[in-house]
Amino acid sequence: MLYKPEENEAKFEEKLISLLKHYGWENRDLTLKQTTNQFNNSELNDVLKKYSDNVLKRKDEQSLIENWKEIIYFRNRGELKSIPLSDSEMEQILDKVNKRNTVGLKNQFIINGEVSITRDAGTAETNPDYGKTKYLNIFSKTDVNQGKTIYQIAQQVVDKRANKRFDIVLLINGIPVIQIELKGKNNYAIDALGQIRSYHKAGVYKQGIFSLIQMFVAMDENEMFYTSNKNNADDIVNKDFIFKWTDEKNEKITYWKDIVQSFLNIPTSHNLIGIYSASDDKDIKILRPYQYWAIEAIAREFEKNNNTIWNNKTDFIKKCGLIWHATGSGKTLTSFKTAQVLIDKNYADKVVFLADRIALTDQTFQNYSDFAKNWSEEVTNSKYTSSLKDFLLNSDKKLHISSHQKINNIAKELSPSEVEKINSKRIVFILDESHRSVFGETAANIKKTFYNSVWMGFTGTPIFEINKKGELHSQIIFGKILHTYTMKNAIIDNNVLGYSFKYVFFNDYNFWKYAYEQDILSELNYDFVKDFWNPNEANEHKKNTKIEKVKQILESDKEFSEDYFSILRFENKNNDDIDKNEKLFEKFLEPNYLDKDDLWLWKHLVVKNILKTWDSFMAKKNMFSAILATNRIEDAIAYFKIFQSYLNKEGGCFYKKIKVSALFDPNESYTGDTEEIEFKRNGVEDILKNYNALFDTNWTIDTFSNYKKDLTIRLAKKGPYQVSSNDNATNFNNDGKDHLDLVIVVNQLLTGFDSKFINTIFFDKNLEEEHLIQAISRTNRVFLNNIKPHGNVVFFNNPFKMYKNLIQALNIYGNIKYADVSIVDFDKDKIFWVVDQINENFNAIKKLFYLWDIPCFESIPSDEEQDNKILIKSQLEQFLLCWIKIYYFTLQLRNLVDTKEEQDFVNENVQITEKERKALEVLVREAKRRFKSIKADKFESPIMGEERLINDYISSFGKDIINKDNIHQFAYSTEKIKRLIKQDNTYELEEEIKKIIFEIKDDEQREWAEHNIDKVTDFLTSQPNEISLENFLEQEVIKQNEYNFKNWCEIIGFSQYFWIRELLNKPKDEIFNFGKNEEIRSIWDCGKYKQYLKELNKENVPTGCIALYKNFQGELEDWSDKLSRKKD
């Protein structure tokens, strides 16, 4: 709910501080009851009195350092023998801060909680610790609102070096950990983030006490963003790293009072910094709200049941619950923080994280180790079963990474005394991707052995009653769902990407296959199949001739042709048609795995399609990789061989040169009869040989597990293959020598594998339910939104079945609609969009002709009147640009429309009639002729001829495609505006208009809109589709500038307005050359110009005409830029 902003920034700041104090930032729990033997009551009273009014006003950096120094002494008085810190000892601490040159290392400095100094205060005689190393406590993540923790608010903090001022800084124990920048009435929180970025660019957070700030908060009265401190200033405003706070049900919290109560309160703020943050040696991660609430829900289960949850002597484990978070939304970090909280709060003695594959245990161990850099506990893992057994029985370590297989093996071999010893400890098992982990005999065996353990599951795809395995589903195994954050939530929040789904139909193959199955044309045999894929001109002719024969027979046989053409294209997503077409496809067109000719041809077509379309998926060379999922190991090997036949073709590869490998479970490779085993073994050897040649490695069948590990970290661009990107495509540094383009798999990598560098998955494989959601989610990791706007999913095998499977899977996992996750659908969806673009541009043209009072397109306006010449020129440019877009979109329709149904749709929905089109074609020619006339009149046109128009248009069209979501959002906003007007909701209407104005990128347009909100509102509500907002604003800015310039000329007494106005259309070197300067000076009134400057209260107005003229010349140059609308 929006509330009407009532305060300017200063008043808002005072109210916010007052509320912060109410919600914990005032040390109200520091009472005499907390005395220690370091202080007597009188001394403690003095300390408390000093910090009772905890708002530090207008302090600079040195003042905050002194404040920190005093608090360190207060917290460590006993250790310091009541001898205060010297200035040089404080310098030692600051030096340690400055030597940690990344935000991640500074986070570790704080969370570690201790800093060492060498004492130099006083002398050896006065200080018994002189010259000794002392360890001082500076921060405690567990002493929340207790002990010697001091909370302070600093208001209007000054950084003298950069001449910057912060609104509010929140300090814990003197350390500035949160900076809040505010915006009052008529301004927006997002502006505050830009302000913080400017501070960062000025070096404010590079060194010194301000470099310890962990989190930035930007807020106005109705919106709040938070983000962690960054090494790169531009990441402060990167939307991938900016979060909004929500409640436990993922509902946004926006009103400032609710934000303070829910987010900026103590204990939440302290916990976000101390517990719910993680860092490696480079970056800080502060948990997103859904991660926070999930861990809080788990902690509550232990808090309320801690006395009864352990020492259960039954033969059934405790079920803590299930966390259902979308795949790709950061479950690994959430599970690590869960383990850390359980151990730090003494809810458990040991936590064991279980994954179902060795690759995932390795990946998790590396991630956990990175997250644990500032944690006192060590993360361990099991290379062998014996190490897991030792961890459970004897080790004092508390967090371990292992696998289901190892824990199952141990459960079978433990003696009764060992079982009893293990169950005397409080052990929590966290199961990763629990949808595939614990069903059947393994689960029963583990439960029986570890009867005093607690189980919890993390998954993006839980098993429900509707898709349960046997008699079991996730809630039977783990208990109730404690927190939910679905794929839909994650896509809306931009925490994972949406998808582009593509369904590939090989129409030529379908002709052949249908005829082959129906025995229509007996000569379509193996020889024809062999020639089908060969890019040889003679074979192409032979193939096409035979296809034509098939077409003729199909067209002459009505029964066959109706069936065939029904499934030839995915024309209709009606459920009945889907079911019918799925069966027809399986009957006639799906590859027959018993028919080598059929299968061989199909795979060649799939490979050719991938190679031909490769560049359309890979936006930047050597950045992204793809996965091809197949049904069987035999298929994976066959695909690998076909790829190599194309890529290694003599005389050079006709297709895109990419690096291809394959990965599957080697334990499955040597099953079957002797011939199958030999085929698989040879296939694996070929794959390894090719990989070794590509990357100068030396893997063999005996070292296959190392090959697998090398391939996965290469795909993820981690370890030795890490690239320097700074999350910025322009700085992406990768020469490609270590880059693997495509991996062919059967089951490997389709679940659990995590890499933001996978952007495409191809399916020649049938998957459903949780397996399908998991597989497509390999592509959904957020990275470089302008380069990776969505994941690409391409279906080859029975598109009808896979479409239906996808709909069903989305429905199971949160009642998600196809449209909620799909970015681009079938050609028909493109047709809808292209038709909309034609209509939008036609309506923009109609709007111009209504403005000209020529509604029937009889002519274009005359430009004889000098006053209107510039405006008409601009409007004619808009007319031509809209027409070129219509022309181009019409060409697009010709390429997209294939069926009568689609053509009927176009005929019914395109608004421009043939009569109107012909009339406009005549006027377009006249407008182009007019531009030549204008040029002859020495008006410089930014649009020169049809070729330039088309090039400009294509560039613009590309941007429209990328930003189509913004176009849809604008349409939504206008509908909302109409609704708000109808409801007479003045305040929310004003806010909605302000949001639209804020998004305007052009400064002059935005400024005009801010001063003319009523006109913008009228435009948006009266003619929102007939001309774009940008074009409307541009017209208004041009008119405003022309009016202002004419008025300026009158004020300064410049009588030759039309002469000077025309002159300003010329290049500056022509305007301000010696001859023209003399002409201008001859009609310029020095006295009136001087009086004009005085009336403006200009300081230091020149007295002489030469100096005044130089001033005038500068203003004239500014007008030249303004009137020509030159933009930075």
Locate 494 and state its tokens: 């931009």
pLDDT tens digits, one per residue of 342-380: 999 999 999 999 887 777 788 888 889 988 887 888 999
748, containing H or E segment: none
The string of DSSP codes covering 884-911 is HHHHHHHHHHHHH--SHHHHHHHHHH--
249-258 residue pLDDT tens: 999 999 999 9
DSSP 145: T
211 or 445, higher pLDDT: 211
Written as one letter, the residue type at 297 is A
**In the structure, what pLDDT confidence band is assigned to residue 571 with cuts at 50, 70 and 90?**
very low
Please report, in angstroms and rounded to a whole number, the separation of the first and last CA atoms in the chain: 38
* CATH 3.40.50.2000 given to domain 306-485: no
* Contacts of 675 by beta carbon, 8 Å cutoff, 6+ apart: none
pLDDT reading at 1072 higher than 80: no
Tokens at 1074, concatenated: 């010696």
How many CA atoms does the CB half-sphere of 592 hold within 13 Å?
A: 13
pLDDT digits (tens, 9 = 90+) for 290-345: 999 999 999 998 887 766 677 655 544 577 888 989 888 888 999 999 999 999 99
Structure confidence by residue, pLDDT tens digits, 15-25? 999 999 999 99
d(CA 827, CA 282): 44
What single string gives the DSSP state of each residue in 360-425?
HHHHHHHHHHHHBTT-SSPEEE-SSHHHHHHHHHT----EEEEEHHHHHHHHHH--HHHHHHHHTS
Residue type, 905: F
Closest to 585 measured CA to CA, from 596, 570, 575: 570
Give the number of other CB atoms < 10 A from CB of residue 888. 19
Higher pLDDT, 150 or 957: 150
Q: Where do runs of H (alpha helix) occur along 852-963?
A: 866-896, 900-909, 914-936, 945-962
DSSP-derived pairing of the beta strands 318-325 and 454-459: parallel
The whole-chain average pLDDT of the chain stands at 78
- What pLDDT does 697 receive? 94
Average pLDDT estimate for 557-580: 54
Percent over 70 (pLDDT), the chain = 72
SS3 state of residue 76: coil
Contacts of residue 195, Cβ cutoff 8 Å, sequence gap at least 6:
181, 218
Q: How far apart are CA 689 and CA 758, in angstroms?
A: 24
Question: CA-CA distance, 209 to 64, in Å (whole number)?
Answer: 8
**Closest residue by Cα to residue 374 from 236, 245, 214, 242:** 214
DSSP-derived secondary structure for 97-138: HHH--SHHHHHHHHHH-EEEEE--SS-TTT-TTTT-EEEEE-
Average pLDDT over residues 524-541: 49
Query: Looking at residue 211, what is its pLDDT?
Result: 96
| H or E segment to which residue 970 belongs | helix 964-982
HSE-up of 872 (CA within 13 Å, CB side)?
A: 16
Q: If pLDDT is split at 50, 70 and 90, which confidence band does 570 have?
A: very low
| Residue range 73-95, pLDDT digits in tens | 999 999 999 999 999 999 999 99
Q: How far apart are CA 209 and CA 235, in angstroms?
A: 21
Q: Are 666 and 658 in contact (CB under 8 A)?
A: no
Tell whether the model's pLDDT for residue 440 goes beyond 80. Answer: no
Residue 1016: exposure state from Cβ atoms within 10 A (0-12, 13-18, ≥19): buried
Cα distance between residue 639 and residue 645, in whole Å: 10
Using the predicted structure, report yes or no on whether residue 29 has a pLDDT greater than 70: no
What is the structure's pLDDT at 970? 42
Mean pLDDT of 797-815: 82
Token pair for 1076: 């023209």
DSSP per-residue letters across 565-625? HHHHS-----HHHHHHHHHHIIIIIS--TT-HHHHHHHHHHHHHHHHHHHHHH-SSTTT-E
Q: Rounded distance, CA 808 to CA 107, Å?
A: 44
Query: What are the residues facing 135 on neighbouring strands?
Result: 116
87-91: long-range contacts (C-beta < 8 A, 24 or more apart)?
88/120, 89/117, 89/118, 89/119, 89/120, 89/121, 90/65
Residue 1048: pLDDT band by 50, 70, 90 thresholds?
confident
Helix (H, G, I), strand (E, B) or coil at 655: coil
Higher pLDDT, 860 or 674: 860
Entry field: residues in the chain: 1128
Does 13-284 carry CATH code 3.90.1570.50? yes
Closest by CA to 879, choosing from 847, 909, 853, 912, is 847
Residue 86 DSSP class: P
How far is it, in rounded angstroms, from Cα 234 to Cα 227? 12
Instruction: Provide the phi-psi class of 655: left if phi over 0, else alpha when psi is between -120 and 50, else beta.
Output: beta
Reading the block at residue 358, the tokens are 């060795």
DSSP code, position 589: I
Q: Which of 641, 582, 573 is nearest to 607 (CA)?
A: 641
Q: Is the pLDDT of residue 873 over 90?
A: no
- Kindly state the greatest CA–CA separation across the chain: 113
Structure confidence at residue 786 (pLDDT):
63
Count CB atoms within 10 A of the CB of residue 257. 13
Which residues, 6+ apart, have CB-to-CB distance to 495 below 8 Å? 288, 326, 328, 329, 330, 489, 782
* Residue type present at position 811: N
**Which range has highest mean pLDDT (648-657, 706-715, 1098-1107)?**
706-715
Query: What does the alpha-carbon distance between residue 1027 and residue 878 come to, in Å, rounded to a whole number?
Result: 10
Closest CA to 796 of 977, 633, 1065, 570: 570
The DSSP bridge pattern shows strands 350-355 and 379-381 to be unpaired
Please tell me what DSSP assigns to residue 246.
B
Q: How far apart are CA 700 and CA 707, in angstroms?
A: 8
Question: From CA 423, how far away is CA 418, in angstroms rounded?
Answer: 9
User: What does the alpha-carbon distance between residue 432 and residue 715 come to, in Å, rounded to a whole number?
Assistant: 21
pLDDT of residue 60: 93
> Does the pTM exceed 0.85?
no
Nearest Cα to Cα of residue 372 among 400, 406, 407, 331: 400
